[in-house]
Structure 1
Amino acid sequence: LGKTTLVVAVELCSITLRNEDRSRTNVVSCAIFGDGAGAAVVGPGKHGPVFQWNASYLFPASRHLMGFDVGASGLGIVLDRELPVFLLRALKPALDGVLAPRERAFADFERLWIHPGGRRILDAITELYALDEERLWASREALARHGNLSSATVFGVLELDLARAAGRADETGLLVGIGPGLSLEASAWRWEDA
């Protein structure tokens, strides 16, 4: 710890396009996922948000919902139509579950950096937590500007939010991503000095 690190995410979602595969899943996944990259320099200092903790959660019996399949013709996407419905039911208990041991609640965080997997996922989070639309503005704007670039999208969300307003001392942020497996990743951040 105490070292400066470059964190990079590169996503090449287009490599999952299989020319011979005319299935709905193949066509839809190529339409909603794009290639992209994002990066951040993370290190010691008093300016900007300071990392506090991270947590991971693997949704039980969810492997079929999203992931990858390696076959004779290359890498293919696994994307089940049930995913948005599943997340409506399972996301809040999972997220509340990773926050509870840290004695935190979703509403405790002033800034929310949510990976915009899609408009329906952002709408679900807004509904589940009774949020004002403005709370997820950076996530919605990143989705509108660039689409879903898989893990690289969170860097766009962070860039938009941090460019819009400087943090205040003791202000907190929560970064949340959902990915293959089906998995949830969350990290908490706090401004020590503004």
Structure 2
Amino acid sequence: MEAFTSFLSFLLPILFSLTLTISTNYEGNALHALRSRLSDPNHVLQSWDPTLVNSCTWFHVTCDSNNHVIRLELYHNNIGGKLPKELGKLKSLVSMDLYGNRFQGKIPKSFANLKSLRFLRLNDNKLSGSIPRELTTLSNLKVFDVSNNDLCGTIPVDGPFGSFSMESFENNRLNGPELKGLVPYDFGC
């Protein structure tokens, strides 16, 4: 019994440390998913080392006093590729500025999990598809800009989308505002 107790006293701190590392690094894992799937010709994401427990030391990442990522600023860096759905795991994110790059593909529906998000700027990229209807649940969203992409469908008017200017949607293949369900949401895509 004494050997078992000794073994547990040795093993428990290791397991606790490992659990703490895994639970605090989910944000780093989400950001690393972004880095690993993108073309980064200017090496902007070079400091994004997945072996570091704290992603708050990475360039273009700002954290709060609890070491949660609150700001992601990767604008005008010639970064290309698809936006990974894992970014939806950054639950404390307040601002995501990814404009002026070469991002392509669809806007992930998982962005609807970013309930603290106030600023989402995806303009001047190569994004396609429709604006995910799920984003209308982001009640804190104050700025939303997807201008100068290749988005299609209709512009939602639910939630915060009713207050965004039409300039936020310019130079896409978007139809006018969705008429409260009277027009199919993906009409025109």
TM-score band w.r.t. shorter chain:
under 0.3
RCO higher in 1 or 2 (8 Å CA, sep ≥ 6)? 1
TM-score, normalization: structure 2?
0.24
Structure with higher helix content: 1
TM-score, normalization: structure 1?
0.24
Which protein shows a greater Rg? 2
